Amino acid sequence: MKGSGSIRQVVRAARHIALFFVIIGSAAAAGAQLGQQPPAPVTQAGTVQSTLSSTPISSPATPSGTSSDPFGGSVITEKATDEIISISLKDAINRGLKANLGALLSEQGITSARGQRWRSLQSMLPDVTAKFGESVQQVNLAASGIRFPGVPAVIGPFSNFEVRGYLNANAGLTQYESIRSSVENLKAAQFSYRNALELVVYSVSNAYLQVLTSGANVLNAQAQVKTAQATLDQARQMHQAGVSAKIDELRASVELQARQQDLIVATNNFDKSRIAFARTIGLPLEQNYELSDTLQFIQAPPVTQEEALHRALQGRFDYRQAQAQVRAAELSEKAARYERLPSLSFNGNYGDIGISPGTSHGTFVAAGAIQVPVFEEGRIRGDIYQAQANLKQSKDQLADLEGRINAEIRTAFLDINAASQQVQLADSTVKLAEEELSEARERFAAGVTDNLEVVQAQGSLVNAQNQYVSSLYVHNLAKLTLARVVGEARQNAATYLGGK
């Protein structure tokens, strides 16, 4: 009885000690949770948002050359020369396809998808390894405390030789469907790369148009400066002759300086557009170049919306990429369902073993097994639910893309029709403004009125010329957009824009 009482005391003490450690452990865990802040959420752009959302912080300005659009950048591989090179639209497109950063980055996506395919394929490929070894040993039994009468304390030296090959193989429907899914993912990556090439053509062509547009604005600004200078000379001569008042000369001086300011702005925009264009096609910024094509008005090709939509659904690579992603998701969902089925495995080895190569003898092991999942329903259902969710997302994205393509084509046709009318009206407005300016200068020279009409007519002509150049750019951009949304930018962009 006394012994049993001692045992109960020991058990009670052990319980108290265990309870003490449980309390200490719980307090430590709670303190760790209180002392650890939750991780800040990550935005889609990859930046971490501050947990103190009540004090917003303005983001810094983006440094020059760090645009988030990869299609506006490039990898420069050539050196600048002293010659002035002539670049046509087709030349610019070819340069962009080779050096544009968007195309280069997308190309690496194919390599990554190809690596994922090889990893999936490895799950069904046999794993074969080989081993070769030879050893010489001498064992001291006495050092290990092993002593038997008649047994020597030291054994050896003795040798061991072995050469052996091992083979492990697994087969199952889950691995098979996973391989098929990786093949579709590789196709999707290839379509993504070809779609990136379409975007490169669009970006390069747009940059080419912007240089042409800004160059036309510079020419118009230079012409307006000459016109304003001629108006000032005329007003100064008439004032010196006592025909007009001083206010006419001052008004003409103000108009000249306003046109000079426009020329400064236009020249600056032109230089910046040239830099952006060079960055798009991978041209060294120090290289002098000129564009051989011109900004012109060419009617859009005769194509109906129904035909354009049919061609887009057949040829747009982003749509084919989305279709491949749906097929990959379907195969992944199959692979998840097949996890419930048994799988086969084979393990074996063969080799020679002995004291020396001359005394070795062949030995082997061969074993096959059928593996049946038991008590893994939770993991399998989780994989199935995730695969079903991915499949639903892929199908929804495909349906949305089809509707977006339809909307983009309709919008492109509307823009082309509106821009075509704008070009015609702007051309007529320029002619009327030129006639108005000529009439105003004649009236001022005849002393019928002051030069206020001349200055106003100059302003009207400036606006008309700028509107004409802008409408030309919008019309060409609308045609370029149509080629892009149909999926034929690489084939037809230069033709749509009148490139040589």
Check if the beta carbon of residue 371 is closer than 8 Å to that of residue 400: no
Could you give the CA distance from residue 436 to residue 222 in angstroms, rounded to a whole number? 20
pLDDT tens track, the chain, 500 positions: 444 444 455 445 445 444 444 444 444 443 434 334 433 333 333 333 333 233 333 333 334 444 578 999 989 988 989 999 999 999 999 999 999 999 999 999 999 999 988 988 888 888 899 998 888 888 887 787 778 887 788 887 888 888 999 999 888 888 889 999 999 999 999 999 999 999 999 999 999 999 999 999 999 999 889 888 988 888 888 888 777 788 888 988 998 999 899 999 999 999 999 999 999 999 999 999 999 998 888 888 888 999 999 999 998 999 999 999 999 999 999 999 999 999 999 999 999 888 877 778 889 999 999 999 988 889 999 999 999 999 999 999 999 999 999 999 999 999 999 999 999 999 999 899 888 888 887 887 877 776 778 888 888 888 888 889 999 999 999 999 999 999 988 888 888 887 66
* Residue 12 confidence (pLDDT): 55
Distance (Å, rounded) from C-alpha 50 to C-alpha 40? 6
Please state the pTM of the whole predicted model.
0.75
Bridge-partner residues for 100, per DSSP?
Answer: 74
Residue 384: per-residue pLDDT: 94
Provide the pLDDT for residue 241.
79
Return the CATH fold of 87-119+176-332+379-496: Outer membrane efflux proteins (OEP) (1.20.1600)
User: What SS3 string covers the chain?
Assistant: CHHHHHHHHHHHHHHHHHHHHHHHHHHHHHHHHHHCCCCCCECCCCCECCCCCCCCCCCCCCCCCCCCCHHHCECCCCCCCCCCEEECHHHHHHHHHHHEHHHHHHHHHHHHHHHHHHHHHHCCCCEEEEEEEEEEEEEECHHHCCCCCCCCCEEEEEEEEEEEEEEEEEECHHHHHHHHHHHHHHHHHHHHHHHHHHHHHHHHHHHHHHHHHHHHHHHHHHHHHHHHHHHHHHHHHHHHCCCCCHHHHHHHHHHHHHHHHHHHHHHHHHHHHHHHHHHHHCCCCCCCEEECCCCCCCCCCCCCHHHHHHHHHHHCHHHHHHHHHHHHHHHHHHHHHHHHCCEEEEEEEEEEEECCHHHCEEEEEEEEEEECCCCCHHHHHHHHHHHHHHHHHHHHHHHHHHHHHHHHHHHHHHHHHHHHHHHHHHHHHHHHHHHHHHHHHHHHHCCCCCCHHHHHHHHHHHHHHHHHHHHHHHHHHHHHHHHHHHCCHHHHHHHHCCCC
> pLDDT at position 207, please?
95
Bridge pairing between strands 85-87 and 289-291? parallel
Instruction: Count CB atoms within 10 A of the CB of residue 371.
Output: 11
Rounded to the nearest 10 degrees, how much is the dihedral formed by the CA atoms of 314, 317, 323, 329? 170
Query: Which residues are 348's β-sheet partners?
Result: 167, 366
In the Cβ-directed half-sphere of 202, how many Cα atoms lie within 13 Å?
22
